[in-house]
Homo-oligomer: A and B are copies of this chain.
């Protein structure tokens, strides 16, 4: 019997879900039923959820991030085991910081500081506008410019960095014509040398990814992928641009390495 996991929050529940899914990875083959219950805003709503948990299949677990102290209190009556994230950890933080925590709902993933929020959206707009090279003139604002062949992960990584960290991330695709033996860095990127990073990938993985996009095409063929991977290797070496091998990395892992590289 696969377990049921209830994600309870007075906010979005994103933190509860992130933590729960992370913990679950340590139980291979477990495929819980997920029940996302965000924006719980009162005791009655929580009581109704308790009723459903009681009536639902077992085993079941609740993972809760209630900022509201009364809802946390009420969690003690929960009919199934609970990971009560705020109760478990806020006290320890209070000791370290030498002050009391507040109990304000919806702060973690709400708009919060509007200037900071607007910057994230601005970063996303910047990244979308610079998704395919140097379309507009303000690439100089980029905090990072990812270079690589088509389908090496530049676009998803840039979007991830912009969305989650408000990072102005541009990408510069290197197409076959760019990769002849004498190709140099475009002038607009020469002033950004310390923000350039090349994504390299094995020809086999690249061919796999491209095959999913354009099955049977020359673009997806292994010889074509080999030629492009070799050419970008030479280009990055020639221009002394640092490289990151993304063959076995997820977007999250690439983004984390980019942040570490820039820190």
Contact = CB atoms under 8 A, between A and B. Distances in A.
Interface residues of A, number: 79
A216 to B, nearest CB: 18
Contact of A12 (B60, B86, B131, B253): B253
Interface in A98-140: 98-99, 101-104, 106-112, 117-118, 120-122, 124-125, 128, 131
A64 to B, nearest CB: 12
A88 interface: yes
A81 B109 contact: no
Interface stretch (A15-23, A169-177, A190-198, A237-245): A15-23
A90 interface: yes
A8 to B, nearest CB: 13
Interface stretch (A156-164, A178-186, A227-235): A156-164
Interface stretch (A26-34, A45-53, A141-149): A26-34
A260 interface: yes
A70 interface: no
A25 B93 contact: no
Contacts of A101: 23, 26-27
A17 to B, nearest CB: 9
A256 B11 CA distance: 9
B14 A108 contact: no
Contacts of A67: 25-26
A263 interface: yes
A112 B159 CA distance: 20
Given A12-B253, A15-B19, A59-B97, 19 more contacts: A12-B252, A14-B18, A19-B19, A23-B90, A23-B93, A23-B101, A25-B104, A26-B102, A30-B97, A38-B257, A38-B260, A59-B96, A81-B92, A83-B93, A111-B253, A118-B209, A118-B212, A124-B156, A163-B163
